[in-house]
Amino acid sequence: MLVDDFLTDSARRMPGKVALACDGTRLTYREIDELANKMANALIDAGVQRGDRVAVYLDNCVETVISIFGILKAGAVFLVINRTAKAEKLKFILNNCRAKGLIGDKNAAGILCALSAEVPFLNFVVLKDDWPAETTIDSKKCFSLTELLDSASSERPPRKCISIDIASIIYTSGSTGYPKGVTLTHLNMVTAATSITQYLENLPSDIILNVLPLSFDYGLYQVLMGFKVGGRVVLEKSFTYPYKVISLMLQERVTGFPGVPTIFSILLGLDDIKKICFKDLRYITNTGAALPVEHIRRIRELFPKARLYSMYGLTECKRVSYLPPEELDRRPASVGKGMPNEEVFLVDENGNRIATPNTVGELVVRGANVMAGYWENPEETAKCLKEGLYPWEKVLYTGDLFRMDEDGFLYFVGRKDDIIKSRGEKVSPREVENVLHALPGVLHAAVIGVPDEILGQAVKAFVVPKNGASLTEKDVIAHCRAHLEDFMVPKYVEFREHLDLTGSGKILKSNLK
């Protein structure tokens, strides 16, 4: 089975059913399937071959969904890049995976015009909006999405991939400061989607509201899983306007709502929400970061008919664990046990399996959902994919510390490294520090995470200005905004005269807060 079969099979079984609702547009399975076929044929005509990488640099919209499935049906590999990623990140990703094409909007056109010759592997660009006048991008072919779809054939293109071929690369932040491309085969993604839809008990009657970015695997899979089970996905761009999302939830009779702690904090802070009855909502999920136990209690009070699933996972294997809602009363702080078709265990510093309960160790994941590796990055891959039960297999060392109680339920303890989780997404302190160091006037910079009620952790930057430099907090934040995705921009900036160093000359972070 391939990921695009989720769409093709549902289109065969229930062609007339509305599969996707977004911004007033409603598309049936048949319509999406045909549009995806057209996209695939257009991409093939533009020279896309099996295994080629094609990037999608759009926010949550119908075109993003069509592009994902079009790229897959062409036998190629899709990447959804966060639309708030700035020029340097875009350039890094496109060059790192030698993407052949990019599908974007007028924002993308502007950035690509500026980058032009710096992305030599990019062969063509497809634009969702009208091309701005006088746009040229080096020697790259430029297409209008509407024209491409109008002229392409809607016949299903021939199947080219097998399940161990690559379906997607999802770039994720790492401690080194450069993102790593989590490379996922069709088998990885189908395995994960099958396990998750099994424990969530998804049915064709499910109507899933997704406000999470499709560049984030949690958001992406809402569409993949929704299509897999023949349900409906209601797609929103963000949770920026909570009341808009709530009226959509009621209007569309949403049955499933995936969120991160930030979203739940905002919901719990709204005045009139207690008066609303969400009678159709049957499940709510949380991952990305832990939900405070008090918030779990208040969410269950607010949505008494819905089952709340506390979960944990990482992009490298999609998801690891979930807590059956029946356990929430007894162990609200747990993220549960491993999902179906997967094994998890804890190891000590020497890599030995921990058999005694309540001993902290690193969580290791074994299963067909574990990624193939990081794209063309054997050193980083070797750090987390190690020999498993058999010499030919690889298991994933998560870098997260957990303990397991007597009944085998997992409790998150902390990260092995210093990755910050803000709004449920990974922020690499090193990546932010690199950007800070590029600001003239900055002598030293150190970035840490600090607890934040709404964000989980907030990004805090300590800056030592150069002699004579007159930097303000606003200058620093504006500079970061220009070079980082929005969730990576520091919330707090503190100026210091100096920062303590360790014996080896690195900045000592342990006494910063």
Q: Can you give the binding site for another protein, defined by CB under 8 A?
A: 59, 83-84, 86-87, 107, 110-111, 237-244, 262, 266, 270-272, 455, 474, 478, 481-483, 486-487, 491
Min separation Cβ 408 and another protein, Å: 37
195 or 265: whose CB is closer to another protein? 265
**How far is residue 91 from each of residues 121, 343, 448, 496, measured CA to CA in Å?**
11, 37, 26, 33
**CA 328 vs CA 214, 294, 354, 365: distances in Å:** 29, 12, 25, 23
Whole-angstrom Cα distance, residue 382 to residue 400? Answer: 17
Q: Which one-letter DSSP state was computed for residue 423? A: T
Least Cβ distance, residue 128 to another protein (angstroms): 11
**CB nearer to another protein: pick between 255 and 262:** 262
Nearest to 40 by CA among 130, 127, 128, 149: 149
User: Judged by CB, which is closer to another protein: 110, or 441?
Assistant: 110
What DSSP letter does each residue of 108-172 carry, written as one string?
A: HHHHHHHHGGG-TT--EEEESSPPPTT---TT-EEEEHHHHHHHS--SPPPP---TTSEEEEEEE
Q: Which is nearer to another protein, 44 or 80 (CB)?
A: 80
Closer to another protein at the Cβ: 43 or 85?
85
* Minimum distance of another protein from residue 54's CB (angstroms): 21
Residue 87 φ then ψ, to 5°: -55, -45
CB crowding 395-416: b at 16 or more within 10 Å, else e: bbbbbbbbbbeeeebbbbeebe
Smaller CB separation from another protein, 117 or 389:
117
Give the C-alpha separation, 41 to 36, whole Å: 9
- Residue 300 DSSP label: H
Closest to 182 measured CA to CA, from 374, 465, 352: 374
Comparing C-alpha atoms, which of 471, 470, 473, 453 is closest to residue 461? 473
Minimum CB separation of residue 258 from another protein in Å reads: 16
| Contact (CB, 8 A) for 408 and 428 | no
Minimum distance of another protein from residue 240's CB (angstroms) = 5
Work out the end-to-end distance of the chain between its first and last CA atoms, rounded to an integer number of angstroms: 49
Residue 469 Cβ vs another protein, minimum distance, rounded to whole Å: 20
Would you say the C-alpha torsion 484, 235, 308, 322 has a positive or negative sign?
negative
Of 206 and 485, nearer to another protein (C-beta) is 485
Residue 241 Cβ vs another protein, minimum distance, rounded to whole Å: 5
Closest CB to another protein among residues 106, 415: 106
CB of 171 to another protein, least distance (A): 18
Full DSSP string of 312-333: E--TTTS--EE--GGGTTT-TT
| 8 A C-beta contact, residue 432 and residue 447 | yes
Amino acid identity of 415? Answer: R
From CA 91, how far away is CA 74, in angstroms rounded?
24
Q: CB-wise, 168 or 262, nearer to another protein? A: 262
Nearer to another protein, 394 or 423 (CB): 423
For residue 505, the minimal CB distance to another protein (Å) is 33
Q: Based on CB atoms, which residue is closest to another protein, 404 or 480?
A: 480
Minimum CB distance to another protein, residue 472 (Å):
12
Q: Is the CB of 371 or the CB of 447 nearer to another protein?
A: 447
Question: Which residues fall within 8 angstroms of residue 503, CB to CB, at 6 or more apart?
Answer: none
Cα-to-chain-centroid distance, residue 273: 28
Q: Give min distance, CB of 122 to another protein, in A.
A: 18
State the nearest-atom distance from the C-beta of 251 to another protein, in Å. 14
CB of 310 to another protein, least distance (A): 22
Judged by CB, which is closer to another protein: 240, or 502? Answer: 240
Nearest partner of 435 among 173, 175, 107, 88, judged by Cα: 88
Pairing state between β 18-22 and 232-235: parallel
